[in-house]
Amino acid sequence: MSKVLQQFLTENLTDLRNQGLYNEIDTVETPNGPIISVKGKEHINLSSNNYLGLATDERLREAALDAIRKWGVGAGAVRTINGTLEVHEKLEETLAAFKGTEAAISFQSGFNCNMAAISAVMDKNDAILSDELNHASIIDGCRLSRAKIIRFNHSDMDDLRRQAKTANESGSYNKIMVITDGVFSMDGDIAKLPEIAEIADEFDLITYVDDAHGSGVLGKGAGTVKQFGLQEQIDFQIGTLSKAIGVVGGYVAGKKELIDWLKVRSRPFLFSTAVTPADAAAATKAVELMMDSTELNERLWDNADYFKNALKNLGFNIGDSETPITPCIIGEEKTTQTFSKRLFEEGVYAKAIVFPTVPKGTGRVRNMPTAAHTREMLDKAVAVYEKVGKEMGIIQ
Ligand code: PMP
């Protein structure tokens, strides 16, 4: 290894470890279901984004296995060079139907999708109005586009309107886009999409909603845009195939012309091979299941309401989440870490989220009850919360 790299790595890794900021990743010994085994012991898993439990669903496994038998394990090359397999086309048609749009395009991940879509449309002569709490992949996608990035205060519609007006009246930009998460992943609050659409209409903004945490959850599964009936007003509906859909990949759903443009101008589509046939087939199956029945979505909400109420009744601060994302806000960083560690020792797997992911002093343990949890599992988790909360003096 070169000396300069060696020095860089040693210095920075030591520094991170000394500050307690080096994130040790656990090895999970069982599939990612509601119960996982870590360090040889079973835990109730409240850390996944596997909202509907589809990551381990038998029907998705079968679809993936059938696709492997029919198509093999890899796509062969990027789609523009080697052609598109029917499984990828089927996935995109199914996603468009699910989202209520003319067309859809899939990418290798949700992260990749934001890198691809923003920079395919925006450039250095443009401006992007971005909610200050937007996901890292949106921030990176905006940076990659070289557009002027104007952050607005989180879900503050007065601030958005003021900044949209200033940007619009300045005459400095060819195009202006407003970007928001549909559901914010740390607090579980929903973006104010009707107001955003209204402001976008007033100032001729392109609208972009990353609904990674809304799809499969809101709008009876079809997402935040559908919940508000704004399919015609939102230009870009972004989603991931890795959370409620349970597989891997990302997508943009929108008008056919937009998707046509992304197929010729988004670099991760042009220069990176698509998800495997197994991924595409399993994700297609997941979307079909969600369109056929809202049963899993209803179970998710039942479980989420049950778990949230139980924590609230115990006296925990669960913030103002409007979705299954259930933050249990502890505050001080070290206490939050200790709380999560004690939950782990008692058989609950729920991770501490602290600064810099969330503001200082708002450390929390983030819980994700899913459709796959049974009431018995949730009751056990709540009992552990009560025990540890009382022991640490967080609740009375
Ligand atoms: N956007 C948002 C809002 C997300 O929460 C995430 C996942 N953390 C992503 C994009 C990235 O999705 P993926 O894991 O599919 O790359």
pLDDT of residue 210: 98
CA–CA separation, 280 vs 348, rounded Å? Answer: 32
Higher pLDDT among residues 296 and 22, named by residue: 296
pLDDT at 231: 94
Rounded distance between C-alpha atoms, residue 316 and residue 328, angstroms: 7
| 34: preceding bond cis by omega (within 30 degrees) | no
Q: Which of 145, 185, 215, 321 is catalytic?
A: 185
pLDDT more than 90, % of the chain: 95
- Note the pTM of the prediction, 2 decimals: 0.96
> Which ligand 1 atom lies nearest to the CA of residue 135?
3
Mean pLDDT of 162-183: 98
Per the annotation, the verdict on 185 as an active-site residue is yes
Distance 218 CA to ligand 1 centre (A): 16
pLDDT of residue 357: 86
The ligand 1 atom nearest the CA atom of 241: 15
Go through the domains of the chain in sequence order and give each one's CATH number: 23-51+294-392 (3.90.1150.10), 58-292 (3.40.640.10)
Where are the alpha helices (H) located in the chain, listed in sequence order? 3-18, 58-71, 79-82, 86-99, 110-121, 136-145, 157-170, 193-203, 224-227, 256-265, 267-271, 277-292, 295-314, 333-345, 375-391
**28 DSSP assignment:** B
Q: For 269-273, which contacts have Cβ atoms below 8 Å and span 24 or more sequence positions?
A: 269/78, 269/79, 269/80, 269/105, 269/107, 269/116, 270/78, 270/80, 271/78, 272/78, 272/108, 272/112, 273/74, 273/75, 273/76, 273/77, 273/78, 273/79, 273/108
Q: Is 213 a catalytic residue?
A: yes
Task: Give catalytic status of residue 48 as yes or no.
Answer: no
Section 58-72 average pLDDT: 98
Distance 212 CA to ligand 1 centre (A): 6
pLDDT given at position 314: 97
Pick from 21-25, 77-81, 102-106, 285-289: least confident: 21-25
Q: Is the ipTM here above 0.95?
A: yes
Q: Which amino acid is at 35?
A: I
For the cut 80, the answer to whether the pLDDT of residue 21 exceeds it is no
Task: Using a pLDDT cut of 70, give the percent of the chain over it.
Answer: 100
Q: How far is the CA of 171 from the centre of ligand 1 (A)?
A: 33
User: For the segment 217-251, what is each residue's pLDDT rounded down to a tens digit?
Assistant: 999 999 999 999 999 999 999 999 999 999 999 99
Residue of minimum CA distance from atom 12 in ligand 1:
110
Catalytic residue among 88, 148, 243, 351: 243
Q: How far is the CA of 48 from the centre of ligand 1 (A)?
A: 12
Is the predicted pLDDT of residue 199 greater than 80, yes or no?
yes
